[in-house]
Amino acid sequence: MHSIRMNRQRVLILLIVGTHTFLLTWGVYRQSPTCDEIRHLAAGVSYWNLGHCTVYRLNPPLTRLVAALPVLAAHPKTDWKRFSKGGGWAVDLKVEEDFLQANGTRTLWLCRLARCGCIAFSWLGAWICYRWAKELYGDEAGYLALVLWCFCPNIIAHAQLITSDAGATAFGIAATYSFWRWLQTPGWLSTFVAGASLGLADLTKFTWLVLFLIFPALWVIWRMSDRRCRADLRAWIRQALQLAILMAFAVYIINLIYGFDGSFQPLGSFSFVSRTLTKAPAVDDRMMTEPEGNRFVGGWLQNVPVPLPRDFVLGCDHLNKELEVIRRPSYLRGEFRADGWWYYYIYAATIKVPVGSWLLFLLALGTPLLVTQRWPAWHNTTIVVVPAIVLVVLVSLQTGRMSNFRFALPVLPFLFIFASRSARLVELHSPWLNALSVAALTWSIASSVWIYPHSLSYFNEMAGGPHRGAAHLLGSNVDWGQDVLFLQDWISQHPDAKPLYLSYYGACDPKYIGLSTGCESIEGGRERVRVEALRSYWYGCSLNYIVWSSQGATKYNAGSLPRLSIPERPPDSKAGYSIWLWHINPNKN
C-alpha cells in the first residue's frame, strides 16, 4: 500500500510539473524577447567566450551563464571589437548591438534556446516549495504549494525569460530552505549545503546579500526559542563556528563562479562611481562609464583585501549608483511620481497575484485557530515569514525604481508556503471549508490559465483583468516588448492593414525578434510629417508609450515618446495586451 501511495504521489507531482513545463515551453516560443533579454544573452555568451563577467555586471552572472550554455551549442556569431574591460552601460549597449548585428534574425531562435535553459530554475523553485511545505504542514500542503508555484501567472511569466528574476526567486527560497534544514540538524554536511545555496542565491541577484544579515538573526531567534539550547554554551560555540563556515563557503562559491577574477584586491584599488563609495558626489551619468574615485584611498581601510571578485564588487557599486541618481518615474493608478509610494509593492501584489491565492492566504492565517493540534514550533514559521517581510521592506525603500513588480518576485514562494497551511483544514472534515478551499484554488488556476500565454500582462479580477492593467501599473507589469510575435500574427490576418507604422517599446529593432514584414518603425520628425500626410494608415503603439503620453510623463524623464499623435479613443484592435492599433483617416479622425 505504501509503494502504491508513493507511486501516486510521484505521478501527481510529475503531472503538475509537466503541465508547468508545457506552459513555459509554449511561452518561450510565443513571447518575443523582452527589453533586457538580448543584453542578458549577449552578456552570457561573452562570459564563456572571454572568460570574465564584465558585461552587464549590474546583476550577478549565474542565470546568464546557464542561459548561454544551449546557445553555445548553436555556435552564435560574436563580435567583441567594442568590448572594454572597464565595463559600464555604454559597453553593455555596444555588446548587445553587435550581437544583434552579427546574428540578425537568428537572434530570436538563439533567445528561445537560452530561455529553455532557464526553465530548470523553475523546477528548482517548484521542488523546494513542495518539500518545505510538506515537511512543515503535511502532504496536502506540499501539493498546494507546488500548484501555487506552477500556476502562478507571475512565475509563468518570468520563468520563461532569460532575466534573473525567476532564478533569483528559486535560489532564494532554496537557500532559506537549506538554512532551515541546517537549523534543524546542524551538521557539517548541512552546513556546506546551506553555504553553497546561499552563494548561488547571491550569484543571481545582489538583493540576496541581505541573507548574510538575516541568517545570523534567525539563528539567534531559533536558539533562544528552545529553553534546552539557551544554556548549552558548547552548542552555541559549535553552531557559531558552523555558521561562520557556512557564510565563508558561500563567499567561496561566489569567487569560484567568477573564476576568482580580481578577488582579494585591496579596497583602495577600485574605481567606484556611486556617491556612497566615492569622495565627491557622483554626477547624473546615465551610462555609468567614468570612474569617480574611491573614498577609502588614503584611509586605514585602503590596503584591506576584499574577499570578493572585482566584477561582483563593481556590480554592487554600479547598482548603488543607479539607485542613487537614475530616478525613474513611478506610476500607480493613473498618477506619476518622482519619489514613488511606500505601499507600491503591496498594492502591486494585491492586483498581480490571483484572488484565489489571496483567499488561501487568508484561510492560512485562520487555520491555527481551527486546527489546534500537531503544528510545528513557532520559530519554523518565523524562518518563512521574516525573509519575506525584509524583502518587501527592502524593495519598498527604493522609491526611485518603483516600476516593476518583478523586483518583489522572490517574496512569492514564501507566500505560497505560508498559504499552504490552509491545506490542513481538510482535517476538520467540514464540507463548507473544503468547498471554499477547492474553490479558491480553482479560481487561482483558472484566472492564470484564462489569459495565458499573456502571463506578463496578468492582472486579477479586482483590477479589472489585463485590459485594465495600465490603469494601475506600467513598465514590465504590462508592457515589456513581449507582443511582437502577436503583432506579426495580426498583420498576417489583416493583409489589407497597410501602411502600418509602429512605435515600439523595446530594446532593439523588432525586425530582429520576429517582426518580419508589413510594418515600419517611426524614427523621426520628418517621418511623422510624411506619415500624417497620408490619407489613411494604421498605427500601432506600445501601451507604455500610450499612457506616458496621455499622462504627461515627460517631465519625469520617462523616455522617448512616440512620434505620431496617439488617438484619443479606444483602439480598433490589439496585438496581445501591450500593442494597441488604430486605423487613422485624417479626413475623418
Find out whether 440 and 359 touch, Cβ atoms under 8 Å. yes
Q: What is the pLDDT of residues 296-313, one digit of tens each?
A: 888 888 999 999 999 999
What confidence tens digit (pLDDT) does each residue in 73-118 have? Answer: 999 999 898 888 777 777 888 889 999 999 998 999 999 999 999 9
For residues 8 and 96, the answer to whether their CB atoms sit within 8 Å is no
Query: Could you write out the DSSP letters of every residue in 410-463?
Result: GGHHHHHHHHGGGGGGGGGT-HHHHHHHHHHHHHHHHHHHHHTT-GGG---GGG
Distance CA 394, CA 398 (A): 7
Domain-embedded: residue 564: yes
How far from chain centre, in Å, is Cα 81? 31
Q: Which of 486, 482, 506, 497 is nearest to 562 (CA)?
A: 506
Rounded CA separation 128/577 (Å): 32
Q: Which domain holds residue 510?
A: 483-584
Residue with cell 522617448: 560
Residue-wise pLDDT tens digits, 400-426: 666 789 999 999 999 999 999 999 999
Rounded to an integer, the average pLDDT of 505-527 is: 67
Q: How large a percentage of the chain has pLDDT more than 90? A: 64
Instruction: Say how many domains are in the chain.
Output: 1
- The answer to whether residue 107 sits within a structural domain is no
Question: Residue 187: inside a domain, yes or no?
Answer: no
pLDDT digits (tens, 9 = 90+) for 526-537: 455 455 556 688
Q: Is residue 553 part of a domain?
A: yes
H or E stretch covering 337: strand 335-337
63 close to 40: Cβ distance less than 8 angstroms? yes
pLDDT digits (tens, 9 = 90+) for 183-218: 999 999 999 999 999 999 999 999 999 999 999 999
Residue 285 binned pLDDT confidence (cut-offs 50, 70, 90): very low
Q: What gap in Å lies between CA 460 and CA 235, rounded to an integer?
A: 49
| pLDDT at res. 526 | 44
pLDDT at 286 over 50: no
SS3 156: helix
- DSSP lists the bridge partners of residue 266 as 305
- Per the domain annotation, does 472 fall within a domain? no
- The arithmetic mean of pLDDT across residues 466-495, rounded, is 93
Question: Does residue 93 fall inside a structural domain?
Answer: no
- Grid cell of 421 as nine digits: 497551511
User: Are the beta carbons of 70 and 114 closer than 8 angstroms?
Assistant: yes
Considering the domain boundaries, does residue 574 fall inside one?
Answer: yes
Q: Does residue 189 lie in a domain region?
A: no
Q: Are 61 and 53 in contact (CB under 8 A)?
A: yes
Query: SS3 of 197, please?
Result: helix
